[in-house]
Structure 1
Amino acid sequence: MTSSALEPAAPITDWEGFAFDTRQVHAGEYPDRNTGLRVPPIALSAGYVFEDFDDQVERFAGTPARPGGAFPGDAAATPGAIYSRQGNPTNAVAEERLASLEGGTVAVAVSSGQAAISSALFALAQHGDRIVSTASIYGGTRILFGRSFQRFGIDVDYVWDADDDAEWERAIHPNTQAIYAETIPNPRNDVTDLRRIAEVAARHRLPLVVDNTVGTPALIRPFEHGADIVVHSTTKFLTGHGAAVGGAIVDGGRFDWEAAERAGRSYPLITAAPRPGLGSMLDRFGAGAYARAVREAVVNDIGPALSPFNGFLLHQGMETLSLRMERHVDSSLAIAAWLEAQPEVDSVDYAGLPAHPLHGIAQRDYGGRTGSVFGVTVRGGIEGARAFVNGLRVFSRMTGIGDTRSMVIHPLTSTHASFAPEISERLGIGPGLLRLSVGLESADDLIRDLRAGLDRVAAR
């Protein structure tokens, strides 16, 4: 027997080609060289030591690092670490894992979902530019667009009917820089036809940015449907336990930035040289150029860095993503079908139900399994909603979604409270609508709890 036959096999560092369930456990991890820790540790360090003068020069220029990469698990071509505002070895595990699960090239972890949306779009648009968004999106995102983006001089135009070419043509201007959408809009589960929107984006040479917080890559991977950039509030299903706030941006690596500029779009953070003698992000980073622009020119400048402790909780949470999502969705399908049959319920907004008008898209793109965040409208308007919510004991009365715990909230008086009445009405946010986020408790226990709430509605 040769000595090589007795040597242990080298650990796997490239998990491409492995199944989703394997990659959610292993992608991005690395063996700790100092202690042999199995779980990558929390790296509580603000900065990183340069090997010598030239190493410092190379890192600030963003040129390839010396062998060993920026972090213990990185490839040698990764630019070296400078400061934890740009990146951290703990967060790098979560970033590589999420990029693998989504099928992207590079991910950038940030401090919250709102930071992810803002950073993703600030890398594409500046003062005087516009963004087009589908109308049905999370209320907090609409507030972000209508308040902060407007103050920064970036206007957002909304498309209400994604099947209407004329509406898209009216909404897209010469200074439009991106299209934004959600896979499963919150709170009404009115799933988006990403393929249709991707066709519009491609025709106009615009990057399509998709929020996949509610869908997660366990249910749908937007890059496979034509998206160019994916954002997440990792606070929700990816982390999964409601204990850590975070966000992430994933670069699909396939958008043709040069063709977009030839068509009249402008993306200077990606295609222009930042200083004489240094190539553009596109020249230096190719398929990861957009992500590098987000990291260096937005996250580094504005500073929404993710805490490494929260990054640790994120990559730990992703290890069980597919298992948790299976339970979330199984319970949601059962609960939505049960609610649909109750006399105190006016309607259930769950695209996985056969009667839902978007069930065809739900079947085609999700196999009918459209997450665990959906709306239910109870009889009696706001007073019916009050009676229902006050009758619940297992569902937590709180904001948030994607937790192990089930939650309920009244959108019209919370997430959509600042909206003009005509906008809320057009979005379907009525006085009797409640948003449910179904957790991991027993579905039978949750149904009993919902029945107790509906009994209060019936007793009014």
Structure 2
Amino acid sequence: MSDRLPGFSTLAVHAGAQPDPTTGARATPIYQTTSFVFNDADHAASLFGLQAFGNIYTRIGNPTNAVLEERVAALEGGTAALAVASGHAAQVVVLQQLLQPGDEFIAARKLYGGSINQFTHAFKSFGWNVVWADPDDIGSFESAVTPRTKAIFIESIANPAGSITDIEAISTVARKAGVPLIVDNTLASPYLIRPIDHGADIVVHSLTKFLGGHGNSLGGIIVDAGTFDWSASGKYPMLSEPRPEYHGIRLQETFGNFAFAIACRVLGLRDLGPALSPFNAFMILTGIETLPLRMQRHCENAKAVAEFLAGHPAVASVSYAGLASDKYHQLARKYAPKGAGAVFTFSLKGGYDAGVSLVSKLQLFSHLANVGDTRSLVIHPASTTHSQLDDAAKVKSGAGPDVVRLSIGIEDKEDLIADLEQALGA
């Protein structure tokens, strides 16, 4: 194997992991400890001064989490990664390294409703300002760039509608502006899309979703592509300037192509504190081992369900890029040839009331606020995940009043179609 680059499925099982050197345990152990013993005083000082790598305190790093970080970095094609408590935590930690009060970042308008809320409201208290752009209009990203722009943020497959974003085109805008492109790859997973291959500089995930895959553990992760020069412009002093808390170390100069991941750990996670539990890391690692198998089934089922809905008389429209008639189908063929994902929306002819009614009548689908589970899930975004938006913003984000979002699981597709058929008939 030494002359061969392992394939995706092999990496999903093995990357980052070795048998435990003390016990021989094959599965990665759960290192359920708060802290770690130092060899001596010099060893402790070198760890705290970033002169050596090692474990200090689980808020900053943990051996179980380290396997998870190395595995996801390998699957995404990045140089390093940092696991945190949730996808939202990942977004906070990433932007803390990039933005000062008064700075701006551009975000695609088609995003998970929680991210829209976080960007619009919560980040105001940090002095970070979001400028919205239309992912269907690349020019809107170009026109949004100002001297205060420090990053661009998009989703590879947008939540809730499952639309495909033209990563390469937006990457070109980011390169021209001299800012990093951040891609939330939660709905695609690296099995379907690897954003770094298309120009992303930073990738984030809610590990809670498809990577973990079983709806049992919260988590988030940040992947450093190692492609951005943080010292080129002077815009990113957290990485390019001497850090007083580390005796004047310049992170870009010292750590090179994984400097951003280091910054997120020693400047973000250390002080903000959204640490991932080692138990959750273990659960998510176990989920990742079957990611390729699950994603194949998710996509197969989603396409079958979308085709059924597209032909049903009660359905006004279906938004699923896996359908040949969908406006994002060509982008799906380019970026996600193995499948267009498992999350999509459809609109009902009866409008808002019909959407709410359908959700209540489904029996096999679980009505809850999550995606990426082995189980099939349903929600009415306008009354839940996107309810904080006004009606116009709901429509622009793909969550209009008549829209229902499905996250298709790995059950038998015939059973899923039967459940939808009885609910639509009722």
| TM-score bucket (shorter structure) | over 0.9
What residue identity is the alignment partner of 2:379?
Answer: I
Aligned residue for 2:239?
A: 270
1:284 lines up with 2:254 in the alignment:
yes
Match of 1:180 among 147, 153, 165: 153
State the SS of the aligned residue for 2:154: strand
Give the C-alpha shift of residue 15 in structure 1.
10
Q: Distance in 2 between matches of 1:113 and 1:136?
A: 17
Instruction: Indicate the larger mover: 100-109 or 350-359.
Output: 350-359
C-alpha distance in structure 2 between counterparts of 1:57 and 1:48, whole Å: 14
Structure 1 residues 164 and 24, CA, compared in 2 at 3 Å: closer, same or farther?
closer
3-state SS in 2 of match to 1:257: coil
The corresponding residue for 1:111 is 85
Between the aligned partners of 1:448 and 1:260, the Cα distance in structure 2 is 57
Aligned residues: 425
Structure number with bigger Rg: 1
Does structure 2 conserve the Cα–Cα contact (< 8 Å) formed by 1:15 and 1:23? no
* Identity level (%): 44
Question: Tell me, which stretches of 5 or more residues in structure 1 are unaligned?
Answer: 1-11, 65-78
Contact conserved, 2:211 with 2:288, CA < 8 A, in 1?
A: yes
| Alpha-carbon distance in 2 for matches of 1:426, 1:240 | 29
- Match for residue 215 of structure 1 among 188, 191, 198: 188
1:132 aligns with 2:101: no
Q: Secondary structure at the match of 1:325?
A: helix
Distance in 2 of aligned mates of 1:96 and 1:17: 16
- Alpha carbons of 1:322 and 1:426: their partners in 2 closer, same or farther (altered >3 Å)? same
1:228 is aligned to 2:201 = yes
Which structure 2 residues correspond to residues 146-165 of structure 1 after superposition, within 5 A?
A: 146-165=120-139
TM-score by length of 1: 0.90
Secondary structure at the aligned position of 2:24 is classed as: coil
- RMSD after superposition: 1.4
Q: Pairwise mapping of residues 36-435 of structure 1 onto structure 2 (< 5 A)? A: 36-64=24-52, 79-165=53-139, 167-261=140-234, 266-275=235-244, 277-367=247-337, 369-435=339-405
For residues 21 and 353 of structure 1, the distance between their equivalents in structure 2, rounded to whole angstroms, comes to 27
Task: Report Cα offsets for 1:131-190 as digits up to 9, x if no partner.
Answer: 10111111100000011101111000011155343x333311111110000000111111
The residue type equivalent to 1:111 in the other structure is A
Change in Cα spacing, 1:224 to 1:16, as seen in structure 2 (3 Å) is: farther
Deviation at 1:17, TM superposition (A): 1.4
4+ residue runs of structure 1 moved beyond 3 angstroms? 161-164
TM-score under structure 2 length normalisation: 0.97
Cα distance in 2 for partners of 1:407, 1:277 equals 50
CA deviation after TM superposition for structure 1 residue 382, in Å: 1.5
Q: CA deviation at 1:258?
A: 2.1
Tell me the SS of whatever aligns to 1:232: strand
Q: Does 1:33 align with 2:6?
A: no
**Unpaired runs of 5+ in structure 2?**
none
Residues 1:161 and 1:37: Cα distance change in structure 2 (over 3 Å):
closer
- Residue equivalent to 1:452: 422
In 2, the alpha carbon distance for the partners of 1:255 and 1:101 equals 19
